[in-house]
Structure 1
Amino acid sequence: MTTLAHISDIHLSPMPEVALRDLLGKRLTGYLNWKLKRHDELNSETLASLVTHLQQQNADFTAVTGDLVNLAMPVEIERAGRWLDALGQPDRVCVSPGNHDAYVPGALETAQRVWGPYLQGETLDGAVFPFVRRVGDVAVISCSSAVPTRPFLAVGRFDEAQADRLGRILRVMGEADYFRTVLIHHPPNPELQHPSFGLKGHKLFRQVIAEHGAELILHGHTHRSSIHSIPGKGHEVPVVGVAAASAAQGGTLDDPARYNLFKIERSGTSWTCTMREYGFQRLGNEIVMRLQMRIY
Structure 2
Amino acid sequence: MITLAHISDIHLSPLPKVGMRDLVGKRLTGFLNWKLKRHGELNSETLVRLVEHMQEQEADFTAVTGDLTNLALPGEIERAGRWLQGVGGADKVAVCPGNHDAYVPGALEGAQSIWGDYLKGETLEGQAFPFVRRVGDVAIVSCSSAVPTPPFMAVGRFEDKQAARLRRILKLLGDAGYFRVVLIHHPPNAELQHPSFGLKGHRLFRQVIAEEGAELVLHGHTHRSSIHHIPGKDHEVPVIGVAAASAAQGGTLDDPARYNLFRIEKAGEGWQCTMREFGFQRLGQDIVMRMQMRIY
Determine if the TM-score, normalized by the shorter chain, exceeds 0.5.
yes
**Alpha-carbon distance, 1:215 to partner:** 0.2
2:274 corresponds to which residue? 274
Deviations 1:139-196 (A, max 9, x none): 0000000000000000000000000000000000000000000000000000000000
Deviations 1:63-89 (A, max 9, x none): 000000000000000000000000000
| Aligned partner letter, 2:243 | A
1:34 corresponds to which residue? 34
Deviations 1:185-226 (A, max 9, x none): 000000000000000000000000000000000000000000
**Alpha-carbon distance, 1:270 to partner:** 0.2
**Alpha-carbon distance, 1:233 to partner:** 0.4
1:104 corresponds to which residue? 104
Structure 2 distance, partners of 1:281, 1:250, is 9
Deviations 1:227-277 (A, max 9, x none): 000000010000000000000000001000000000000000000000000
Are 1:161 and 2:158 an aligned pair? no
| Aligned partner letter, 1:219 | H
1:142 corresponds to which residue? 142
SS of the equivalent of 1:111 reads: helix
What are the ranges of 5 or more consecutive residues in structure 1 without an aligned counterpart? none
Structure 2 distance, partners of 1:21, 1:139, is 43
Q: What is the correspondence of 1:1-296 to structure 2 with a 5 Å cutoff?
A: 1-296=1-296
Structure 2 distance, partners of 1:176, 1:90, is 24
Structure 1 distance, partners of 2:177, 2:135, is 13
SS of the equivalent of 1:128 reads: coil
| Aligned partner letter, 1:204 | L
| Aligned partner letter, 1:185 | H
Structure 1 distance, partners of 2:58, 2:217, is 22
Deviations 1:86-132 (A, max 9, x none): 00000000000000000000000000000000000000000000000
Structure 1 distance, partners of 2:58, 2:212, is 32
Structure 2 distance, partners of 1:283, 1:249, is 7
Structure 1 distance, partners of 2:202, 2:73, is 28
**Alpha-carbon distance, 1:25 to partner:** 0.4
| Aligned partner letter, 2:48 | A
| Aligned partner letter, 1:133 | R
SS of the equivalent of 1:223 reads: coil
SS of the equivalent of 2:169 reads: helix
CA RMSD of aligned residues (A): 0.2
| Aligned partner letter, 1:218 | L
**Alpha-carbon distance, 1:17 to partner:** 1.0
Structure 2 distance, partners of 1:241, 1:135, is 22
After the TM superposition, which parts of structure 1 deviate over 3 Å for at least 4 consecutive aligned residues?
none
Structure 2 distance, partners of 1:204, 1:138, is 24
| Aligned partner letter, 1:194 | H
What are the ranges of 5 or more consecutive residues in structure 2 without an aligned counterpart? none
Provide the identity percentage: 78
SS of the equivalent of 2:146 reads: coil
Structure 2 distance, partners of 1:228, 1:15, is 33
Aligned length: 296
**Alpha-carbon distance, 1:56 to partner:** 0.3
